[in-house]
Structures are given as C-alpha cells and as structure tokens.
C-alpha cells in the first residue's frame, strides 16, 4: 500500500451518495414483535430506528440510487467508469453479480464489474481494491458501492439479532489524483472464525436451501453477540492503528473517523483506546442500525453531504464483521 509515492496516482474520493429505504422501523415497532424494549436497545446498542426495504425492492435498486448520486456528485457520467465493485452479502442473485446488474442499468458501457464479499468490512476492502487498480495506472475511475437488504435475512423471532440490522446503500466514486490526496494507507485482515460466531449458514453449498434449512431458519443471520463484541472492541482500534502507522501518522492528526456502525459501545471503546474524542467519529447508528457493507459508505456520504469534510482533511474509514474480518484506510480528502 502506498504512503509517500507521489510519482503514482492515488485513489481519491471524488463523489459520494447514499440511499436508504423510506420505511422506518422504530424500537417501539420491534417491541410489538419480540420481547424487547426501546430502553434495552438504546442502552445496549445506541440504535433507535432502522430502514426496511419494501418487499419488491432488491439490493441493486437502492445501490442504483446511491450510485446515481455519487456519479452526480463526482460530475462524471457512468460511461466514464472503468470498474464497478459492489460490496454486499445480500446480492440480488447468487449469480450474476449485483455489480453487473448495475453496470447495465447505469449504462456504464466500458466498466468491468464484480461483487466483493467481506461482510461489514466490504466497502473498505472495496476501497483498497480500487486503490490498487488506480495506483498502478490500470484504471482511472472506479465506483465502489456498499449495499445491503439485511431485512430479508433477519430472523424476526430472534431478539438477539433482529433489533440490530437495517437496509441501505452507500457509494463512492474513486478517481486518479496526482495532488497527494486520496488513499494513503490500508490495513486488511481476517481470522477465519466463520459462521459459528457470525454469518448466514444456510443457502450456500454447505447447507443448501431446503425445507429443513428454511424451517430451522438456518438461512437467517446468526450471531454470538458477546463473542463478536469482544472481537470488535479490539479489531476496530487495532486496524486503525495499523493504517495510521503505515501512513506515518497518529490518531490526533485525523479530522474524522468513519467507523462501521454496529454498536455505539464499540465506537466508544475505540474512541477511548485511540484517545480520540467521540465527537470526531461519524455516528449515525441511532437512525440506521447496522447496515453491514453499507454502513461505512452511508455514514461517509451523509457526513459529506452535510459539509463535514474539508479538502485536505485526513479521514480514516474502518469496518469489521463476519469472517471475521477487519479493514481500514486513511484518506486525504480531495473534494
Ligand atoms: O456488524 C457485525 C459485527 N457485529 C457486532 O459488532 C455486534 C457485536 N455485539 C453486540 O453489539 C452486542 O453483543 C449485542 C448488542 C448483540 C448484545 O449486547 P450485550 O450487551 O452483549 O448483551 P448480551 O448478549 O450479553 O445479553 C444480555 C441480556 C441477555 O439476557 P440474560 O441472558 O442476561 O438474561 C439477553 O438475552 O440481554 C438479553 N437480550 C435482550 N433483551 C432485550 C438480548 N437481546 C435483547 C433484546 N432486548 N433485543
């Protein structure tokens, strides 16, 4: 990963956009479905409401809307894109990829397209992949999208998980920059602990969809929350420290951190471990819950639209999730 190589272009974020479904599901709505309370959910997670897609909406539909906004923000046409990467664990189909569906729908005639699956770390993994293509001169304009419709995989009888997740899509256009802005460093990792701790075990080749797997809800989100929590409170600050170290920086030089929005207590723990005030973390978990791969780009695009970022700001993005995986990068803001 490049830190100080000004002879090669860097992958700069030149446009962002996001789309969340209109339907809001509050904690009070969930009180009517499972044995839970607004108080428990707010105190233990920070979530107050989440967005839930209509039955006839698929992941590519909200990804498309987010992509249009990001392209408009970047001031480029879809036909100028070289590559589309969609990070998702909830694609429209097992195949073809959601990225290929978007390539056609956007009219991105020149673009290659593929999906990337590393769960809640997916968008940051996608940004790191985009950086490789841009830094080596292979491509100039890459659209990276994180998009999920998790509500279709929620076990609505499991209060341990159903209160946590929501739907949404966030997108960023990366362009080749020669002015020192863009992705300065990345850190990616995985410990391979698998679906025992977090995943959707059914529906793949290990437990193909069958009446049995469907009736036992094996094709729904399963999580050992405490185990993942213990992992996350270390993984988030540790990956950020490694990205900062690779960029030759310290946390106090960052203007903002855009973390995966899984639990406000995880973000608070990272704030303490990095000695970085909570006010410098972009937090929207109260309104959207955990949107997996869409979490970081929705928070990024929303904060960008609100005018929080200034040209030259150093911003860290960080995700963690199923795999188990983690990913972070340090970006010098180009817009
Ligand atoms: O995006 C991927 C990464 N995911 C994460 O990072 C999630 C990490 N984990 C977490 O955020 C937290 O572990 C949870 C929010 C999932 C759970 O919070 P917790 O403080 O770890 O609660 P717990 O699992 O230790 O459960 C405490 C109690 C249990 O009752 P008992 O056994 O003490 O009687 C649960 O049954 O809270 C109960 N509980 C609930 N009560 C009311 C669990 N879920 C609920 C609920 N409403 N929705």
**Which tokens belong to 253?**
């030089």
> Once rounded to an integer, what is the mean pLDDT over residues 261-271?
98
Given a cut of 90, whether residue 1 has pLDDT beyond it is no
260 is catalytic: yes
> Once rounded to an integer, what is the mean pLDDT over residues 212-220?
95
> Once rounded to an integer, what is the mean pLDDT over residues 121-146?
98
Catalytic-labelled residue, pool 238, 263, 284, 290: 290
Residue 83 Cα, ligand 1 centroid: separation in angstroms?
Answer: 39
**Contact status, residue 247 vs residue 3, Cβ threshold 8 Å:** yes
φ, ψ for residue 130 (rounded to 5)? Answer: -60, -40
H or E element at residue 223:
strand 222-223
Residue 268 Cα, ligand 1 centroid: separation in angstroms?
Answer: 17
Separation of alpha carbons 71 and 63, rounded Å: 12
By percentage, how much of the chain surpasses pLDDT 70? 98
Given a cut of 90, whether residue 5 has pLDDT beyond it is no
238 is catalytic: no
Q: Which atom of ligand 1 is nearest to the CA of 45?
A: 15
Given a cut of 80, whether residue 253 has pLDDT beyond it is yes
> Once rounded to an integer, what is the mean pLDDT over residues 169-184?
98
User: Quick one: pLDDT band at residue 8, thresholds 50, 70, 90?
Assistant: confident
- The position carrying tokens 């830094």 is 135
Q: What angle in degrees, to the nearest 10, is found between the helix axes of 59-74 and 295-305?
A: 40
Residue 160 Cα, ligand 1 centroid: separation in angstroms?
Answer: 6
Looking at ligand 1, which residue's alpha carbon is closest to its atom 44? 160
Over residues 309-329, the pLDDT tens digits come to 999 999 999 999 999 999 999
Give me the chain's average pLDDT, please.
97
Over residues 30-84, the pLDDT tens digits come to 999 999 999 999 999 999 999 999 999 999 999 999 999 999 999 999 999 999 9
Separation of alpha carbons 67 and 311, rounded Å: 22
The span from the first CA to the last CA of the chain, in angstroms, equals 22
> Once rounded to an integer, what is the mean pLDDT over residues 84-96?
98
Looking at ligand 1, which residue's alpha carbon is closest to its atom 35? 160
Q: Is 263 in the pocket of ligand 1 (CB under 6 A)?
A: yes
The distance from CA 159 to its chain's CA centroid, rounded to whole angstroms, is 23
By percentage, how much of the chain surpasses pLDDT 90? 98
pLDDT score of 6: 53
Query: Collapsing DSSP states into helix, strand and coil, what is residue 50?
Result: strand
> Once rounded to an integer, what is the mean pLDDT over residues 189-208?
96
Over residues 281-295, the pLDDT tens digits come to 999 999 999 999 999
pLDDT score of 4: 53
* DSSP conformational letter for 281: B
Residue 134 Cα, ligand 1 centroid: separation in angstroms?
Answer: 41
Looking at ligand 1, which residue's alpha carbon is closest to its atom 29? 160
> Once rounded to an integer, what is the mean pLDDT over residues 129-139?
97
Q: Is 40 in the pocket of ligand 1 (CB under 6 A)?
A: yes
Q: Which atom of ligand 1 is nearest to the CA of 322?
A: 2
Q: Which atom of ligand 1 is nearest to the CA of 292?
A: 1
Q: Is 120 in the pocket of ligand 1 (CB under 6 A)?
A: yes
Q: Is 131 in the pocket of ligand 1 (CB under 6 A)?
A: no
120 is catalytic: yes
Given a cut of 60, whether residue 99 has pLDDT beyond it is yes
């Amino acid at each position: 990963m490049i830190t100080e190589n000004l002879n090669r272009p860097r992958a700069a974020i030149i446009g962002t956009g996001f789309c969340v479904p209109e339907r809001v599901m509050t904690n009070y709505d969930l009180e009517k479905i499972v044995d839970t309370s607004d108080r428990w959910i707010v105190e233990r997670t920070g979530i107050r409401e989440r967005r839930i897609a209509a039955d006839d909406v698929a992941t590519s539909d909200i990804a498309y809307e987010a992509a249009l906004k990001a392209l408009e923000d970047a001031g480029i046409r879809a036909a100028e894109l070289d590559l589309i990467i969609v990070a998702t664990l909830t694609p429209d189909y097992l195949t073809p990829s959601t990225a290929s569906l978007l390539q056609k729908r956007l009219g991105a005639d020149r673009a290659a397209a593929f999906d990337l699956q590393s769960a809640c770390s997916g968008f940051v993994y996608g940004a790191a992949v985009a950086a490789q293509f841009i830094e080596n001169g292979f491509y100039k304009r890459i659209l990276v999208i994180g998009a999920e419709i998790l509500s279709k995989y929620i076990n609505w009888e499991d209060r341990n998980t159903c209160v946590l997740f929501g739907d949404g899509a966030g997108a960023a256009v990366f362009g080749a920059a020669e002015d020192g802005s863009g992705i300065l460093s990345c850190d990616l990792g995985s410990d391979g602990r698998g679906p025992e701790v977090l995943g959707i075990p059914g529906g793949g080749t290990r437990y193909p969809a069958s009446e049995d797997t469907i009736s036992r809800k094996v094709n729904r989100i399963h999580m050992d929350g405490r185990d993942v929590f213990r992992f996350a409170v270390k993984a988030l600050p540790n990956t950020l420290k490694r990205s900062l170290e690779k960029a030759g920086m310290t946390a106090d030089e960052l203007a903002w951190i855009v973390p995966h929005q899984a639990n406000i207590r995880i973000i608070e723990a990272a704030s303490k471990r990095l000695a970085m005030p909570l006010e410098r973390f972009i937090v929207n978990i109260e309104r959207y819950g955990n949107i997996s791969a869409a979490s970081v780009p929705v928070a990024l695009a929303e904060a960008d639209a609100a005018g929080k970022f200034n040209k030259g700001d150093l911003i860290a993005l960080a995700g963690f999730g199923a795999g188990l995986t983690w990913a972070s990068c340090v970006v010098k803001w180009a817009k």
